[in-house]
Amino acid sequence: METTPLLECFDVGKTFQTGSGAVRALNNVRLAIPQGSFVALVGPSGCGKTTLLHILAGLDTNYNGRLISRCQPNRMSYVFQNPRLLPWLTAEQNVAFVLQARGDSRHQARKAAREYLQLVGLSGFENKYPSQLSGGMQQRVALARALAVEPDIMLMDEPFGSLDEISARKLRSELLRLFQELQKTVIFVTHNVTEAAYLADKIIVMGTHPGRVIDEINVDLPRPRDYDSPEVSQIARRIISQLHI
């Protein structure tokens, strides 16, 4: 079913001015993010994925072209490659912090924080500090924090890129479970082509020099998908072939 896209870009471009001249990071990007979809932005290092995600999130307004956002800024949340937790706060306090910042009472925020930590499989770890948690557990806290504000859309920049493969596999399948259960829209940046094929409904393949969209792949495979299946591998190979690797 076609619905009005939550976000749309028309001929979006971005140039960074640097001491050694202008860097054209994005050129003529046109894309649509359908509501309720899981969209992967995939491409090699330097193709402008993070730059594009910043523009889509409204974190960077200094671009040319047109962005149409049908999403309120306070209905978006952003997950970074590193968990970016506050080290002096416990897992529960890290999640509660963003809820209190948006006006929840301390009691409400702590209650919701516990619920979202449970949802990401961290019951029993509420009172641990980030330094007492593994990298995967810290990323789960970051995921709980992003979900706790009940966003319509989550923008995720290589959130599992620094994890070992076993933790990353587990978190990918849990993210999909949450995506389906909570009915979010997700934009997920990765340079892992199999991860993109496993997760996404729609894959936007980006190339470099300048950063641009080179292909858009709709993935119709039913979920749950098998990460190691020939169907997922076939889509991963199609991405690779577009990137001329």
Interface with ligand ATP by CB under 6 A: which residues?
16, 18, 23, 25, 43, 45-51, 191, 211
> Minimum CB separation from ligand ATP for residue 45, in Å?
3
For ligand ATP, give the closer residue by CB, 36 or 161: 161
> Minimum CB separation from ligand ATP for residue 101, in Å?
26
Residue 4 one-letter amino acid:
T
> Minimum CB separation from ligand ATP for residue 145, in Å?
21
Q: Which residues lie closer than 8 Å to 182 by C-beta, 6 or more apart?
A: 147
Total site size for Mg ion, rule CB under 5 A = 1
159: closest CA among 185, 186, 180, 184?
A: 186
Strand partners, 22: 17
For ligand ATP, give the closer residue by CB, 128 or 191: 191
Query: What is the three-class DSSP state of 116?
Result: helix
Q: Out of Mg ion, ligand ATP, none, which partner does residue 23 contact, by CB within 5 to 8 A per kind? A: ligand ATP
Q: CA 20, 22, 26 angle in degrees (round to 5)? A: 140
Q: Out of ligand ATP, Mg ion, none, which partner does residue 159 contact, by CB within 5 to 8 A per kind? A: none
For Mg ion, give the closer residue by CB, 27 or 50: 50
Q: What is the rounded distance in angstroms from the CA atom of residue 231 to the CA atom of residue 222? A: 11
Q: Which residue is nearest to Mg ion (CB)?
A: 50
> Minimum CB separation from Mg ion for residue 78, in Å?
13
Question: DSSP alpha helices (H): ranges in 88-216?
Answer: 91-101, 106-119, 135-148, 165-182, 193-199
Beta strand pairing call for 76-79 and 153-157: parallel
For ligand ATP, give the closer residue by CB, 30 or 128: 30
How many CB atoms within 10 Å of residue 162? 15
Q: How far apart are the first and last CA of the chain?
A: 34
50 binds Mg ion (CB under 5 A): yes
For ligand ATP, give the closer residue by CB, 71 or 204: 204
Binding site for Mg ion (CB under 5 A): 50
